[in-house]
Amino acid sequence: MNKESKLYSIFKNKCPKCHEGQFFESNNPYNLKNFSKMPDECPVCGQKYEPETGFYYGAMYVSYAFGVAIFVAVWVSTSLLFPDMSVYLTIGLVLAALVLLFPVSFRLARLVWINIFVKYSKEYRNSVEQKQI
């Protein structure tokens, strides 16, 4: 995967600015005690991970889009594979998929959201040095 691509940061759990520091402390979304823990800033380039208070409220829109995508994917695949399945069972499967995929969707939503606002910068080392002057 191209390291300069935003998808690299999103899917590899990396800082949106330098694509090197970890974004979430744990790489495993199913490490349920720590799946949402983030350092205050990138350990490599110093990018703040919460640029302003309430920054991640906006990630709910992204999360909502993932929720709709999961709903449609489960609904369409069950109605194609098992056309006789009851609606209640299908709803149950949709809810189960939403619950099981919540940690993944939560983390991807935050990574997508911060990647909308923070651009990749090859020159992050220069900017770190400028801050120290």
Can you give the binding site for Zn ion, defined by CB under 5 A?
A: 15, 17-18, 21, 42, 44-45, 47
> Nearest-CA neighbor of 114 among 36, 62, 43, 45?
62
**How many of the other CB atoms lie within 10 Å of CB of 14?**
22
Closest CB to Zn ion among 45 and 74? 45
What is the closest distance, in whole angstroms, from the C-beta atom of residue 45 to Zn ion in the complex? 3
Closest CB to Zn ion among 33 and 119? 119
What is the closest distance, in whole angstroms, from the C-beta atom of residue 24 to Zn ion in the complex? 13
Exposed (0-12), middle (13-18) or buried (19+): which is 123, by Cβ within 10 Å? exposed
> Nearest-CA neighbor of 47 among 129, 128, 130, 132?
128
> Nearest-CA neighbor of 108 among 6, 21, 39?
6
Closest CB to Zn ion among 33 and 122? 122
Closest CB to Zn ion among 18 and 94? 18
For the chain, what is the radius of gyration of the CA atoms? 18
What is the closest distance, in whole angstroms, from the C-beta atom of residue 52 to Zn ion in the complex? 18
